[in-house]
Structure formats: structure tokens, C-alpha cells
Structure 1
Amino acid sequence: MSILAIDVSKSSLAFYSDFIGSGVVENSPQGIFDLFDKATSNSNDFSLVLESTGIYSFDVANYFSNHSIPVFWVKTDNMKYYRKILNRPKTDKIDAKLIFDIASKFKDSLVPFVNNSYIINELRNLTRLYLKFNEDIARLKLRLYSYVALYFPNLNFKLNKTYESLLKDFTVEEISNMPVEELFEYIAKISRHNVSSKLLAEKLKELAKNALRLRPSHSNTLRLSIVSTIELIQHYEKQIKLVKSEIEKLIKRIPNTLVTVKGIGEVTAAGIIAEIGDIKRFNNASALASYAGLVWSVNQSGNFQSEDNKLTKKGNKYLRTYLVMAANSLRFHNPVFKDYYRKKFSQSHSHHHMRALILSARKLVNLVFYLLKTNTPYVIQK
């Protein structure tokens, strides 16, 4: 069978083959059509091989696959090995000729393109958006707390419906001048009596008066900043609910056993699966850990080994984030990870929590690899 190898970039598809030669077309619908027409006009017995580059490689892989052409990915975690065997300097860029040589000499290591890749790509978009929204909310909350500290000093502000409504509906002056019974009734209605409304009303009036004594002329722009930030946070929270709902629908279409682990919810499982893609791309858990960037630089001399070693900061940051999120949840819900976290926490001389958490995430990689590889439900080993 002949081979058509493609080096995919955002704007172009550089190809190399043993039946149509080499060249470059645009990475666009027309470019894909032209390349497919050129290839099928010369042969109907060939396979397409390319490196997985996310959204840029999906359209061409999907089009050829939908037209009955076998499509394969090159395993990215073995690139160093391929280069060494093929005598290609590590400084050489990955190109169509290298992909062709790999496909020709290491056919057993190629990973078949799975037709549910479009679901993976949709999940990847949504799970990354989910993280982005949460990061944006975290920044907005920090900004909101700083605004409130300036506008309403000494207020033990909490981001909940009661405080949000109070700051949106009333100024500090209005709270200070409002009869305590009226303020009490307002708080009781908003909080549905979930807080000690009378005590809170009295406390708020006292704090409002002290705030006015400290700063008689309160800034209207500062209050506007507070109200606008609260509304932005509420908007983001609504969007997160929508994104979460879509993620939960999509992950149900991908058979997996990650969700059988108590502490790993559907969104976290979706984030991990979306970034890994086909688990067959990885030979072992170590390769997966390297892909996630859960490996450390070495700082060792003689019998001394530093605990301040940093993560390499290489690898897939989204996968690393979801693995750490999952590990943080498992330390509360899973006895195996709870014990492991406590052990590593007690063994650390510095950065106790973060060191124990990252090591737990690395341990989790082994479990994730096993569950995705075998597709067996999780059972706690006693």
C-alpha cells in the first residue's frame, strides 16, 4: 500500500508520497479537495499518515477517512526515538518526509484515526472554554473583593446572593440611613431566612456608619465597578452552566470508565479524555505523564536532592490542570489517594500541599492510563 504523508500547519498541508511526489496545498476546504482529487486520481490503494496537531489536522483526516481512505496518526511521544533511528538531528523540524519515513519503517506504531475524533475535538473546545471561564471568574472575584474593601471597609464580604443584592441595590449612605427593620426585612427576603437577618442588619448599619466616617464622599465610579463586576461574574456563571451541560451530554457518547472513580466527575473526565484523545498514542503511563508535563527537572548533587525542583513546564497544560483538579478531589473522596496525599504531605519539608498534590496527580496518571487502556470499571484495591 502506498503512503501519503502530510505535515500539517495552520495555513498549509505539505505532502510527501511514493505515488504523487511532494508539494504544498492550502489547509482549507479547497486545498483538501484538491489534494484528495490528486491522490485518488493516481491510486485507490494508499493510506494517509499525519501528526496530530489538534484542530488543524482534523478536517483533512476526517475528509479522507469519510471517503474510505485509511488514516493514521504518528505517535508524537516516540518522535525522539524515530529521529535517532532515522539519523535525523533533533533540531530538524518535523516535516512530511520524516512522517513518510516513520510510516514506511514503523507501520506497527501508527495509530488509526477514530471516527469519533470530532466528538473529542468538540469536547476539547468546550473543556478548554470551561477552564478559561473559571480562570476569568477567579480574576473577577479578586478584583471585586479589592473594590469592596475600598468601598465598604471592614465588611466581611461574601460572594453570595445576599451581599451581591445589597451592594447592587443600595449605596453605603442608603444602608446607613435605612431603618434597621426595613433592612432586616430586605435581608430576610433575599436570604430566605438562611442567615441571621436581624443581627446582619444591625451589623451592616454599624459598618456603613463607620465607613462614612472614614470616607464621607464615596466614589460613584467605585460602586459602578462593584456592580459591573458582580454582573460580569453572574454572566460567566450562567455561561459555565451552559458549557457544563454540553460537556456532560458529549462525554456520555464516549465509552470510558474514568467516571467510575468516585471524585472524578463528568467534566473532569471529559477534560482528561479530550486532551489525551486516543490512548493508543501512548506506549505507557510514563509517556502520558511526560505529555502532561508531570515530570520534574533534576537538581541533585551527591546524596543531596532538592525538594525545590520545578515541573518542566512542558507538555499539555490543559491536561495537567485537569489531572491536578482530579487529584485534589480524590484526596477527599478516595481512600487510596487520601492516604497517598497525606504520606507525601508529611514527607515534604517545604511546599507541603502543592508537592503532595502534584505527586498525587502523577500517581493518577497511572490509573488514568490503565482505565482508558482496558476500559474496565474502577475497583479500589483493598
Structure 2
Amino acid sequence: MFWIGLDISKEKIDYAFPNPKNMGHYLRTGRINNNLKGYANLERIILESGINFNLACETTGIYSFPIMDYFSSRGYHCNEIHAFSIASYKKTVLQRNKTDKVDAKEISDYAHRYKDKLVRPYVARTANLIELGLLIRTKKQLEKRDRALNNILEAYGFVQDKLENITFEYADKGLRSLISNNQAYKKNFDKGISQYCKENFAATYEALNSISGVGENTIPYLIYYTNNFTRFNNPRDFTSYIGVVPNFYESGSSVKYKTRIAHKSVCNSQLRAALSQAANIAMRHNPQIKELVSRLDHLTFKQRLIAATRKLAIQVYFCGKNKVMYDKNRP
């Protein structure tokens, strides 16, 4: 099993073909355009080599989706590797150079050394999932704009309170109007995303909406980031992905750090935040989570919330994966 390393940017993709007879050396390196013509050229090069190559790239968000979908739909084994894993690997091999060509080689080398971690292939996103992703990104921008406008309004208010005989009447009125319009548009946009999920992911939406604590604002994130629950094989993988699995750090008798969950840089912190908010509600209304939290009364609120989030994530995975309704009587 040999892996082509791809370093992807907005316009270009650098590739590195390993030498099967001499690993660590490369048959070919080069660069293609990040478009359909470039993908076809790369496929032609692979076929001409006569070697059964797999493809690996670093996660780069929307820039890596098209080429991964292209080759995955054509039967190639593809994988996305978290950027943190690649960065950590480069430190272990003392790689100091930083170019697109070097990065492509390091990705290829990483995939070969840790091929046992890349058994599960990349799952191509459907057109509906890609569109849902674009809707979610638009929603993030609306939320970002809302925060920015509120920060400006707060700054004007701070200055106005500290100075005498100065008012920002027009600025205040204009900002409040912008904030009001943005919030109204965001509210309608949120309803539109929920309606889109109901129409295109009806079974999954109905199953997730039956879980106490999971609302219509959380469901689009769950559907998108799990590829409609085709991305993970088991609940352990899902809870690890969102970073609510305890991490231990100890060695011998002298080194023993406090157990923690994953740092936000190595998990999907946005999905974890959304599920944490849902878990905070579920702690009061979800029977199974209420029972769990009551047994953890000796812990701090944050620790109970993490446990509730993990329990809710397991419920979400079970219902979303199997498209079944939530059963509050299930143990």
C-alpha cells in the first residue's frame, strides 16, 4: 500500500509519488491546478505509473473537498489527515524545511508509516451535504457580523459615558438598526437551514429531534460534520472526534497530571460547543442524563457537563446512525 502525498492550497496542489522499491525516495513530484482538469492530469499520471496508489492530504477545509470527492468517487482509497498530526510528525523527523513540495513528501511519508490508522477511507460528500456546509459557513459569518456590530456599539457607549456633552446619536441609531436587521435575517436564515435539513435529511432530522436537549440549531452541525452519520464506525470514534474522551498523562510514580479532555486544536471544538449547550439543557430534561448527573453530584459542574455531553453524544450517534427515535426508557 503506497500513498501519494497531496499538499493542497486554493489554486495549486503539490503531489509526491513514493518509490515502492525505496521508501523515503520519490518517483515523481510536481504541481497541478486545483480544478477538474488538474485532477484528470493527476489521475492520468497514476494510471501511467501502473502502481496501485492511495491518496492522502492534510485537512484544508473546502479546498480539499473537491479532489478527495473526485478520486473517492472513482474507487481510490483516500484519506484526510489532521494538520496537527502532520505538524507533530514533522517535529519527530526533525524536518525544518517548509515548502509545498516538502509538505507533500511528509504527508506521503506519514501515511506510509501510519497506514494502520488510515484503514477507513474518506467518504465523499453528497451534493446536499456540500450545500449544507455552505449554509453553515454563511450562518457563521452572520454570527461573526452580529458580534462585531455589538462590540462597536459597546465601544461607542463606553466613550460616550466617559466624556461630557458628547453623544453619538446617529452612530448609535445606525448601529442598532443594523444589529436589529442582522438578527432578524439570521433568525430567518436559521429557520431556512432547519427546513433544508428536514427536506433533505428527513429520517436523520426526525431521529435527532426526538432526543431531549437536541434542538433545531444543533442538528445541522451534527448532520454536516458526521457526513449524515457515515463518517464514524462507532460512538467511541465520534466522542473522540468532538473531544469529550478523557486523556491521561502519567509516567512512573512522579509524573501524573490531571485527567483532561482534548484541547480545542485537536478536535471539532465547534461541534463540542454546540453539544455542550445542548447537554446543559439535557441535564434538566433528558431522563438518562439527569440520572447520570445525579450520580456525579460530588463532581464540579464542568465535570458533570463534560460527562453529560459525552452521554448525549452517544445518544446522538445511536439515533442518527440507525435512524431510530430516542427511547427515554432505554437504559
Scaled by the length of structure 2, what TM-score is found?
0.68
1:25 CA drift (Å): 1.8
The superposition leaves residues 232-290 of structure 1 with CA deviations (integer Å, 9 ceiling, x where unpaired) of 33333344344443344443386894344243245423312322348676565444333
Seq. identity, %: 19
**Distance in 2 separating the partners of 1:91 and 1:4:** 21
**Distance in 1 separating the partners of 2:166 and 2:82:** 62
With over 3 angstroms needed to count, the CA separation of the structure-2 counterparts of 1:143 and 1:294, relative to structure 1, is: farther
With over 3 angstroms needed to count, the CA separation of the structure-2 counterparts of 1:240 and 1:147, relative to structure 1, is: farther
Paired residue secondary structure (1:21): strand
The superposition leaves residues 158-207 of structure 1 with CA deviations (integer Å, 9 ceiling, x where unpaired) of xxxxxxxxxxxxxxxxxxxxxxxxxxxxxxxxxxxxxxxxxxxxxxxxxx
2:5 matched residue in structure 1: 6
2:287 matched residue in structure 1: 335
With over 3 angstroms needed to count, the CA separation of the structure-2 counterparts of 1:50 and 1:378, relative to structure 1, is: farther
1:328 CA drift (Å): 2.8
Give 1:23-172 correspondences, 5 Å limit: 23-29=29-35, 30-43=37-50, 46=52, 48-51=54-57, 53=59, 54-66=61-73, 68-73=74-79, 89=92, 94-103=106-115, 106=116, 110-134=119-143, 136-137=145-146, 140=149
Count of aligned positions: 303
Paired residue secondary structure (1:112): coil
**Distance in 2 separating the partners of 1:272 and 1:223:** 38
1:161 matched residue in structure 2: none
With over 3 angstroms needed to count, the CA separation of the structure-2 counterparts of 1:372 and 1:16, relative to structure 1, is: farther
2:180 matched residue in structure 1: 230
1:188 matched residue in structure 2: none
1:226 CA drift (Å): 2.8
The superposition leaves residues 30-56 of structure 1 with CA deviations (integer Å, 9 ceiling, x where unpaired) of 32222112223344x735332462323
Question: Over aligned residues, Cα RMSD in angstroms?
Answer: 4.6
C-alpha contact 1:47 1:72 (8 A) present in aligned 2: no
C-alpha contact 2:283 2:289 (8 A) present in aligned 1: yes
With over 3 angstroms needed to count, the CA separation of the structure-2 counterparts of 1:263 and 1:231, relative to structure 1, is: same
1:142 CA drift (Å): 7.3
1:165 matched residue in structure 2: none
With over 3 angstroms needed to count, the CA separation of the structure-2 counterparts of 1:219 and 1:375, relative to structure 1, is: closer
The superposition leaves residues 46-79 of structure 1 with CA deviations (integer Å, 9 ceiling, x where unpaired) of 353324623232211222344x3333326769x6
1:312 aligns to 2:263 (yes or no):
yes
Give 1:235-254 correspondences, 5 Å limit: 235-252=185-202
Which of these residues, 258, 264, 289, is aligned with residue 208 of structure 2? Answer: 258
Q: What runs of 5+ residues in structure 2 fail to find an aligned partner?
A: 21-25, 96-102
Q: What runs of 5+ residues in structure 1 fail to find an aligned partner?
A: 152-214
**Distance in 1 separating the partners of 2:111 and 2:262:** 30
C-alpha contact 1:16 1:97 (8 A) present in aligned 2: no
